[in-house]
């Protein structure tokens, strides 16, 4: 297995079959893993049926609904355990156009992560109202500034990763969900020196089913960004303060001793004048 496309699902029966067929057509040599969080609408059964027809399609069934971030962690781990070197993440609701997959995967050449971006030249979000545009764009600008990451679309869920990049960030310790998961993975990768490239995409709202995002998930993401940003500023400020431990004291003592060294004998420039006779 070289490339694995990971798609998390919860009640995506209306779109999953078409998504799988489009992904298979766009990347015929890739494997596909659907991570289903116990969808009551039978999504996992439809994936198994499509897999028998299309080949190279797998389903990972998980009990309960532990969340979006947990689903990606499980899917990435599943792929890396089986030797996948490139891991793609995308939504199951057709908001991420599968025909963009070859471009995104190809852009990984020379970098460590590719972000399908709505906010670089050529990217777009048709049919979005002004309020949603401002909320999304403002949140992304705030996240990039707070975390010091030069990426315009921090919350995009259409991405391509090298397996070694995901290993380097200790993926199992990433605990955020939703938008927070996207931001945390990207931030950790940037801290490790990952080379990140943004490629323009057209993001369209789902036409079938119901969005899984909520105000709680957005608030969680903004709260986490604020926390991480504050920790980053604190760490930078701490690093700028001179150490005052024993080593610093010893250094100061050595400096004082050097300044108090007696003048060199026989050097008139450094020999102090003699005391006047009584």
**Looking at the domain assignment, is residue 274 inside a domain?**
no
pLDDT of 138-195, one tens digit each?
Answer: 999 999 999 999 999 999 999 999 999 999 999 989 988 878 999 999 999 999 999 9
| Sheet with strand 113-117: strands edge to edge | 57-61, 31-36, 3-9, 86-89, 159-162, 113-117, 196-200
Question: In the structure, what pLDDT confidence band is assigned to residue 211 with cuts at 50, 70 and 90?
Answer: low
User: Is 95 within the bounds of a domain?
Assistant: yes
pLDDT band at 216 (very low <50, low <70, confident <90, very high): low
The single residue listed with the structure tokens 């996207």 is 182
CATH number at residue 125: 3.90.550.10
DSSP state, residue 124:
B
Mean pLDDT comparison of 23-32, 66-75, 239-248, 249-258, highest-scoring range: 23-32
What are the tens digits of pLDDT across the range 91-121?
999 999 999 999 999 999 999 999 999 999 9
Range of the domain at 139: 3-235
Mean pLDDT within 268-272 = 41
Q: Is residue 265 part of a domain?
A: no
**Confidence band of 63 (pLDDT split at 50, 70, 90):** confident
Query: In whole angstroms, what is the distance from residue 255 CA to residue 11 CA?
Result: 71
233: helix, strand or coil: helix
The pLDDT score that the predictor gives to residue 212 is 52
What is the pLDDT confidence band of residue 66, given thresholds at 50, 70 and 90?
Answer: confident
CA dist 268 and 90 (Å) reads: 80
In a domain, 248, yes or no: no
CA–CA dist 62, 74 (Å, integer): 9
Maximum average pLDDT range among 65-69, 180-184, 226-230:
180-184
DSSP state of 100: G
- Count of structural domains within the chain: 1
What are the angstrom distances between the C-alpha of 183 and each of 178, 180, 222, 229?
9, 5, 10, 12
Q: Are 93 and 12 within 8 A, CB to CB? A: yes
Confidence of residue 6 (pLDDT cuts 50, 70, 90): very high
Does 40 reside within a domain? yes
Q: Is residue 48 part of a domain?
A: yes
What's the pLDDT at 210? 57
* pLDDT band, very low/low/confident/very high, at 277 (cuts 50, 70, 90): very low
Structure-model confidence comparison of residues 268 and 193, the more confident one: 193
Q: What is the Cα–Cα distance from 112 to 166, expressed in whole angstroms? A: 9
- Token pair listed for 11: 């009640």
Q: 17-41: buried (b, 16+ CB within 10 Å) or exposed (e) per residue?
A: bebbeebbebbeebbbbbbbbebee
Contact between 76 and 171 under an 8 Å Cβ cutoff? The reply is yes
Cα 246 vs. chain centroid, distance in angstroms? Answer: 40
Cα pseudo-dihedral 180, 115, 233, 146, rounded to 10: -70
269: in domain: no
Segments of the chain assigned E as strands: 3-9, 31-36, 57-61, 86-89, 113-117, 159-162, 196-200
Query: Where does residue 163 fall: left (phi above 0), alpha (psi -120 to 50 degrees), or beta otherwise?
Result: alpha
Question: 149: which residues sit within 8 A by CB, 6+ positions away?
Answer: 143, 186, 187, 190, 196
Does residue 276 lie in a domain region?
Answer: no
């Amino acid at each position: 297995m070289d490339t694995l496309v990971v798609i998390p699902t919860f009640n995506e029966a209306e779109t999953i079959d078409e998504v799988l067929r489009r992904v298979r057509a766009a990347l015929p040599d890739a494997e596909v893993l659907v991570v289903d969080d116990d969808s009551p609408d039978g999504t996992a059964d439809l994936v198994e049926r499509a897999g028998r027809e299309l080949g190279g399609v797998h389903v990972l069934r998980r009990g309960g609904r532990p969340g979006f971030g947990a689903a990606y962690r499980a899917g990435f781990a599943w792929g890396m355990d089986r030797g996948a070197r490139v891991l793609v993440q995308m939504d199951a609701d057709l908001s991420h156009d599968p025909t963009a997959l070859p471009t995104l995967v190809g852009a990984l050449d020379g970098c460590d992560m590719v972000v399908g971006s709505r906010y670089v030249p050529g990217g777009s979000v048709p049919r979005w109202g002004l309020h949603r545009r401002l909320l999304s764009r403002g949140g992304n600008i705030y996240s990039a500034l707070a975390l010091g990451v030069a990426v315009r679309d921090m919350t995009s869920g259409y991405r391509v990763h090298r397996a070694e990049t995901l290993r380097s960030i200790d993926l199992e310790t990433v605990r955020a969900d939703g938008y927070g998961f996207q931001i945390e993975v990207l931030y950790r990768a940037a801290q490790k020196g990952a080379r990140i490239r943004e490629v323009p995409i057209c993001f369209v709202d789902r036409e079938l089913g119901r969005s899984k995002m909520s105000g709680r998930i957005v608030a969680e993401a903004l709260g986490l960004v604020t926390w991480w940003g504050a920790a980053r500023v604190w760490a930078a400020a701490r690093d700028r303060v001179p150490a005052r431990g024993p080593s610093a004291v010893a250094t100061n003592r050595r400096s004082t001793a050097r300044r108090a060294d007696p003048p060199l004998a026989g050097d008139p420039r450094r020999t102090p004048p003699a005391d006047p006779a009584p």
